[in-house]
Amino acid sequence: MYHALYRKYRPMDFDSVVGQDAIIKTLKNSIKNNVFSHAYMFFGPRGTGKTTVSKIFARNINCLSPIDGMACKKCDSCEISFSDNCVDIIEIDAASNNGVDEIRELKNNINLVPSQLKYKVYIIDEVHMLSIGAFNALLKTLEEPPSHVIFILATTDPQKVPETIVSRCQCFSFKRISEDDIKSKISDVCIKENIDIESLVVDKIAMLCDGGLRDALGYLDKMVSYSDSTITIGDFNDVNGIVDDSDLNNFLKNMLIGNFSIVLSDISRFNSCGKNIIQVIVQLINYIRDLIVDYYLSGINNECFSMSLLQELVNLLNEKLVDIKKSGNPKIYFEMLILKFINDFVKNDSKFFQQVNTNIDKDNNFITDLNNNDLTTELNSDSNDNENEDGNSENVIAKNVSNKDFSPSKIINLNEIISCRINNTMATADKSLLKNEIEKFSLLKDYSFDQNIGSLVNSLLDSKIRACGKNNMIISYSSDGFVSQNLENIISLNDVYNKITNSNIKIAIVTDKEWENIKIDYISRIKSNNPYHEVEEPDFLFEDSLKNDIISSSAIDLFGNDIVEFE
């Protein structure tokens, strides 16, 4: 029969216990000196060895000839205590035996002498689960137990145990096991079990198990069942619903520049992919903590992050984590919390907010004619020159997009252009073209963290490619808000896409619902032998900013251009 790893590798002696050196030394000395308390209390986080040490201690104190405070494993008492049929070491689960009647039965049996060993040891696990009446029934027994009885109480929540009980016990606080000790233990188990595992997975397990070795071995057991070959970090993330560090980095960047629409989209994506929102928040807290610690240890500041904002964010998440756990809908609570953080802190951190958003503003204001061959030639020329100088084509693309400064203007014939692009896409739509464009789309990921064009790239990556023709493509978003925002930036989005993918394609942006209607219309046209036909796309028409200026327009109307000067 298969045994779980945490059971198979449960320590059987004090030397095998991990991470509780001070407690083990004290207990071994008490056995060597033959000085025992009548009652002990072991408390601490789950999976740190409380029950395991209780059982080891119960066996060792009954050994007839202990060696250096540990059972010899050879005498008659050791053979009995290490067997599964030992009746003098009694383990009681207080969670399921928490009433007065169970404790009274224990009191009735306590005066019976041990049948085989020197001491009768009662191990009461999760003792904080006893009722008040049960605690009162146990109190007198703990105060004056028979000489042949020793109590060991174990709990993860000592605050719920009455002080009158605690004061009658010798208490030991079990600490969380260090990550280094957990990594060492996991590595040993993997060697013994011939488990092939990436070192990064071992590090991740040690971090996520929160100091509990039992949980760590549980993670490992689950991964062994999942993976047929080497256990990779991708496997671990998939099985445990964990977000990649790269996704966290991108999520954090968008949060700290106030890009709430993308942050909202990421949270929805995490939730729809089955990620535990609470786990995502805990990961985010740990990730921010690492960034802050790295900054203060190395003194090197990451330009993408403001340390003051990071500290405000980690404090806010820590403060609200308990409330999020109790919330009926953690996803909505988390979204509203991030919105509050962006409004209260990000937009008030003017120096960082302006510095980071300068490049984004330039990206969003990048408006030019896609068919302007002179500009295309100029950018290609700049790209070749800079690539020769720097040897880095990624920086060249970002530079070309962000360094062009254009005045923002509203496109007044945007609906007509989008309709035209949808029509032309469906007129020449082809599966091979769609497949080719999807492959090109993956090139965008290399620029998702770029300081200049990262926000535009991430907006594209959040979309779905629906159809592709010879010179046009349709992408869709789940909500009207995303579509409206990206339509405002359609020229800069289109330009970034074409430069990265080395294409000359025109993008139409629609909602998922609109795409369903387009599909229905396309099928209807095919059946009725009325297919789409390509049409000529009109030029962009921009709203004249001068005419929008009410004061200036009125002055011109009244006095004419000859006597009105503008600065």
pLDDT higher than 90, residue 391: no
pLDDT higher than 50, residue 355: no
pLDDT higher than 50, residue 178: yes
Residue count of the chain? 567
pLDDT, tens digit (0-9, with 9 covering 90-100), for 131-171: 888 888 888 788 888 888 899 999 998 888 889 889 888 99
| Band of residue 386 on the pLDDT scale cut at 50, 70, 90 | very low
Q: What is the pLDDT of residue 339?
A: 86
Lowest-pLDDT range of 98-102, 263-267, 316-320: 98-102
Nearest Cα residue to 167 out of 143, 136, 200: 143
Higher pLDDT, 23 or 1: 23
* Domain spans of the chain, in order of start: 5-173, 179-240, 245-348, 356-567
| Band of residue 404 on the pLDDT scale cut at 50, 70, 90 | very low
Provide mean pLDDT across the span 110-139. Answer: 86
pLDDT higher than 90, residue 307: no
Lowest-pLDDT range of 48-57, 306-315, 356-365, 486-495: 356-365
Q: Which string of DSSP letters, residue by residue, matches 145-202? A: --TTEEEEEEES-GGGS-HHHHTTSEEEEPPPPPHHHHHHHHHHHHHHHT--B-HHHH
pLDDT higher than 60, residue 366: no
Lowest-pLDDT range of 29-33, 240-244, 408-412, 486-490: 408-412
The position carrying tokens 């251009």 is: 561
| Band of residue 549 on the pLDDT scale cut at 50, 70, 90 | very low
- Mean pLDDT for all residues in the chain: 79
pLDDT, tens digit (0-9, with 9 covering 90-100), for 437-474: 888 888 888 787 676 787 888 888 888 899 999 999 99
Q: What percent of the chain has pLDDT over 90?
A: 14
Please give the CATH architecture assigned to the domain spanning 179-240: Orthogonal Bundle (1.10)
CATH no., domain 5-173: 3.40.50.300
Dihedral sign from CA coordinates of 177, 180, 184, 186: positive
CATH no., domain 245-348: 1.20.272.10
Report d(CA 327, CA 540) in Å as an integer.
48
Provide mean pLDDT across the span 201-228. Answer: 86
Q: What is the pLDDT of residue 227?
A: 78
Nearest Cα residue to 92 out of 141, 129, 39: 129
Q: What is the pLDDT of residue 171?
A: 92
pLDDT higher than 80, residue 70: yes
pLDDT higher than 60, residue 83: yes
pLDDT higher than 80, residue 410: no
pLDDT higher than 80, residue 512: yes
Give every CB contact of residue 331 below 8 A, 6+ residues apart in sequence.
Answer: 267, 268, 271, 277
Higher pLDDT, 372 or 223: 223
pLDDT higher than 90, residue 74: no
pLDDT, tens digit (0-9, with 9 covering 90-100), for 470-493: 999 999 988 777 888 888 889 989
- Judge contact between 495 and 401, C-beta under 8 A: yes
pLDDT higher than 60, residue 389: no
| Band of residue 360 on the pLDDT scale cut at 50, 70, 90 | very low
pLDDT higher than 90, residue 271: no
